[in-house]
With several copies, the nearest count.
Chain A
Amino acid sequence: MTLPAFVQGAWFAGALFFIFGLKGMSSPASARRGIIVAGYGMLTAIAGTFLIPGLQNIGLIAIALGLGSAVAWLSGARVKMTDMPQMVAIYNGMGGGAAAAIAAVEFVKGDTHDLATTALAVLGALIGAVSFTGSCIAWAKLQGVLRKAVRLPAQNALNVLLALGTVALGLATVMLAPARPELVCAFFALALILGLVVTLPIGGADMPVVISLFNAFTGLAVGFEGYVLGNPALIIAGIVVGAAGTLLTQLMAKAMNRPISNILFVPMAAAGSGAAVEGEQKEIGAMDVAALMRYADRVIIVPGYGMAVAHAQHKVWEMTELLEEAGVEVKFAIHPVAGRMPGHMNVLLAEAGVPYDKIFDLDEINGEFAQADVALVIGANDVVNPAARSDKSSPIYGMPILNADMARNVIVVKRGKGSGYSGVENALFYSDNCQMLYGDAQPMAGEIIQHLKAMG
């Protein structure tokens, strides 16, 4: 496999581009440039491949390339923003499929390889195949084609059994070279089924983590097949994605507070999809709050007694200044009875140096929540409790409230599940557009500031 320098060079350049592209994508400021750089890498690598001397079936290759990319491009360009995750899933599955197919061709060819190569080919095929069918299921679930989480009897045992079987067949394939067709076929079949069976019982809410996991899998599969084909660009791209994807999966699982093993082996509810999540307070991290606000146009901050208790006013104002530097419009909405004395919030905001022209009272600002991207509720509770509007039995019924619930996203900073002065539960915290940042308001604001600064 001595290839001309320009082919090797193109692949090398591709690998470089991928690395820098991925690096770009890991920060909001350069993310968009990152994907473009990676795109150039892909073009370079593909172009170089066409230049391999003696490449056969160029027509077929071109057709396949055209067909695959056209279909994917069009579907990807049309799909609604909210349907993106399943598109990622299906494209990822295709990558896994491709990796498996490459291994399949190698087996069909029957070239003899050394042990390591065969082993990696088989491993890549296994992982690729699982990722393929698994991703398809993930897509089907998110797309709503498959509505129920199908849980087979003794699911976990079945999973383990199937996995063992597949691995055994794979081992056999490796050992009994040259490959025996029945064995290989059985191996592929089992691997594909494994992907199906493992993914079927997983609920829709957990899917993003699973997709990320399959994404890392596909990366590994690609890396392994790269070894088989002797192509370092594939190895690097695949392994970088494999490593990055693994870490990403962990980060996502952590952000959702669901250990990965839990997702794969102990599905949340036998029959439930994501319904169980409704009616829960959804937690969010400071970094996300920072990013959400940093890339918003309009933010309204609703301070309450908790801000006073935490003495968070200085931090909150610093955060505001950072947001304004980034071009975000920030306003403070003061409820008439926020805090524990008339003008409590005014005292604090004045102390922090918030200019009066950023402070609005209920009548002035209530109409603006509907246009706000984020309502950041800091240690307030009763004053944003929608029960006051509708629930006649509530002790706070009839009190005018700030319409924080009308904002696109509501973030509530509080220490825990404590209720406010009136002691009533707040339905806002459970609503779909609301997420909770748990912690004392001062350190939380500090964390948000830190992340805002990191975003430049």
Chain B
Amino acid sequence: MPLTIAVARERAPGEKRVALSPESARRFKDLGAELRIEAGAGLSSHFVDADYADVASAHSLEETYAGADVILRVSPPSPEEIAAMPVGSVLIGLLRPFELPARLDALNGRRITAFALELLPRISRAQSMDVLSSQGACAGYQSGLIAAARCAKFFPMLTTASGTVRPARVLVIGAGVAGLQAIATCRRLGAAVEAYDVRAAAREQIESLGAKFVDTGVQADGAGGYARDLSAVEKLQQAERLARAVAAADVVITTAAVPGKAAPVIVTEEMVAQMRHGALIVDLAAETGGNCALTQPGEHVDVGGVHIHGPLHLASRMPTHASDLYARNLYNFLSPWVREGQLAFDGADEILAGALLCRDGSTVHPLVKHVLGEA
């Protein structure tokens, strides 16, 4: 019997993406896999059921997952969803490994082989599977749009018969995948963009997009292209120089993150107090606590005329393309191991090993074990 891949409708609130796109479905088919999708699963991404030609349709969660070999998901499964998964099946998705030990226990209880795509090693070969990059790009783009749409001013400079409008000043903190995309989006709209990141290479990257680099003198390159935690002294120095840039900005977009940790607080209450009435903060790190001390994840707060947005599910704001990219990532992750309709993982593969969260009833990822052991 060929490999069966099952995709259920995402049930997490606010989640509009889907783990299978009509295109990735077609490609899986070509590999000889059997596909099963829950009816209406793609609708919130604007893929109607008819778009999934040749894909078997199921009408409940249980029906979808029954007998599946591989389950593809976007967000982590709820206890009920885990309960519906066949024992020993393979689960691939964004599983938030550092978040909920109970979830891992439930997965291990069903001896599920779980790959958490957040843990994917960032090596060149893995780039085509890198959901953090693809979804980060969506999030960064959306943050730029939110900033522009919510800003009380024009982003671009305009010389009009009613006078000249100066370009808005945007400050982007954290120039990773999302931050760079935010910079590009704001620059496209004509804003005067400054940006800041602790990584040394970020300066050139920021400038390559036509933005100005805010030099605070702090550098913190960590392993694997990620940033490391900052020391107290560094934090102070960073804060002092950044405060000035924040006070001058019409819009601040923050995207700083350190993997496996809560987001660093960079924009403090005092800094917010120095901002002008009508200024705006868009905090992309809201999901992990926020880079701004006053951010309320998922909320929109007004602190003395300064609006602070902590948007969640940014990629879900553009579900069609976000799902498209996500589904292709999944395809690229899985397809090397599907031969003649059968799944055959190579345990020694660097990428598989890096992303493997649970197997044979226990959590195997060292960093996750370490972090959760700590907590």
Contacts and interface: CB of A to CB of B under 8 A. Distances in A.
Interface residues of B, number: 36
A336 B124 contact: no
Interface stretch (B30-38, B40-48, B154-162): B154-162
Given A334-B159, A346-B159, A397 B125 contact: yes
A422 interface: yes
Interface stretch (B13-21, B200-208, B245-253, B270-278): B200-208
A342 B209 contact: no
A344 B125 CA distance: 19
Given A305-B208, A342-B162, A356 B124 contact: no
Contact of A342 (B177, B190, B204, B207): B177
Contact of B159 (A343, A399, A422): A343
A400 B164 CA distance: 14
Contacts of B210: 311, 351, 353
Contacts of A341: 137, 140, 177, 180-181, 184, 205
A350 B192 CA distance: 11
B124 to A, nearest CB: 4
A347 B177 contact: no
Contact of A396 (B125, B159, B184, B204): B125
Interface stretch (B73-81, B105-113, B127-135, B357-365): B127-135
A340 B125 contact: no
Contacts of B127: 336-337, 399
B100 interface: no
Interface in B191-233: 192, 204-205, 207-210
The bracket for how many chain A residues form the interface is 20 to 34
A335 interface: yes
Contacts of B152: none
Contact of B180 (A309, A340, A351, A361): A340
User: Which of B127, B133, B160, B204 neighbours the largest number of chain A CB atoms within 10 Å of its CB?
Assistant: B160
User: Which of A341, A382, A396, A399 neighbours the largest number of chain B CB atoms within 10 Å of its CB?
Assistant: A341
B161 A342 contact: yes
A342 B128 contact: no
A254 B181 CA distance: 45
A341 B156 CA distance: 14
A359 B192 contact: no
Interface in B341-365: none
B188 interface: yes
B180 A398 contact: no
B125 A356 contact: no
B133 A396 contact: no
Contacts of B165: 343
A345 B159 contact: yes
B65 to A, nearest CB: 32
A200 interface: no
A220 interface: no
B159 A398 contact: no
Contacts of B136: 342
A363 B90 CA distance: 30
A395 interface: yes
Nearest to B177: A341
Contacts of B123: 395
A124 B294 CA distance: 92
Interface in A380-407: 382, 388, 395-400
Interface in B139-160: 140, 156-160
Contacts of A428: none
Given A341-B177, A344-B180, A398-B125, A356 B167 contact: yes
A335 B163 CA distance: 10
Contacts of B137: 341-343
A354 to B, nearest CB: 10
B167 A309 contact: no
A420 B212 CA distance: 23
Interface in A184-204: none
B190 A340 contact: no
Contacts of B162: 336, 342
A346 B309 CA distance: 28
B173 to A, nearest CB: 16
A344 B176 CA distance: 12
B209 A398 contact: no
Contacts of A335: 159
B179 to A, nearest CB: 9
B211 to A, nearest CB: 11
A399 B156 contact: no
B67 to A, nearest CB: 33
Contacts of B128: 336, 400
Given A308-B209, A342-B162, A350 B157 contact: yes
Interface string A154-180: 000000000000000000000000000
Given A308-B208, A396-B124, A399-B125, A346 B190 contact: yes
Interface string A368-389: 0000000000000010000010
B270 to A, nearest CB: 30
User: Which of B163, B177, B208 neighbours the largest number of chain A CB atoms within 10 Å of its CB?
Assistant: B208
Contacts of B180: 340-341, 344
A346 B157 contact: yes
A362 B163 CA distance: 9
User: Which of A347, A356, A388 neighbours the largest number of chain B CB atoms within 10 Å of its CB?
Assistant: A347
A248 B128 CA distance: 51
Contacts of A398: 124-125
A356 B192 contact: yes
B182 to A, nearest CB: 10
Contacts of A347: 156, 184, 187-188, 190, 209
A350 B205 CA distance: 18
Interface in A310-327: 311
A130 to B, nearest CB: 55
User: Which of A308, A350, A397, A422 neighbours the largest number of chain B CB atoms within 10 Å of its CB?
Assistant: A350
Given A309-B207, A341-B177, A359 B157 contact: yes
Contact of B181 (A343, A345, A361, A388): A343
Interface string A3-15: 0000000000000
B345 to A, nearest CB: 16
Nearest to B183: A341
A422 B204 contact: no
Nearest to B350: A398
B189 to A, nearest CB: 9
Given A341-B177, A342-B133, A347-B184, A422 B158 contact: no
A347 B185 CA distance: 9
Contacts of A388: 124
A397 B124 CA distance: 8
Given A311-B208, A335-B159, A346-B158, 15 more contacts: A334-B164, A336-B127, A336-B160, A337-B160, A340-B205, A342-B136, A342-B177, A342-B181, A343-B160, A350-B188, A356-B157, A395-B124, A396-B124, A398-B124, A399-B125
29 contacts: A308-B209, A309-B204, A311-B210, A336-B164, A337-B124, A337-B160, A339-B208, A340-B205, A340-B208, A341-B137, A341-B181, A341-B184, A342-B136, A342-B137, A343-B159, A343-B160, A343-B165, A344-B208, A344-B209, A345-B159, A346-B157, A347-B188, A347-B209, A361-B159, A361-B163, A395-B123, A395-B124, A397-B124, A399-B124
Report the 3 A-B pairs with minimum CB-CB distance, sorted nearest first: A343-B158, A398-B125, A342-B160
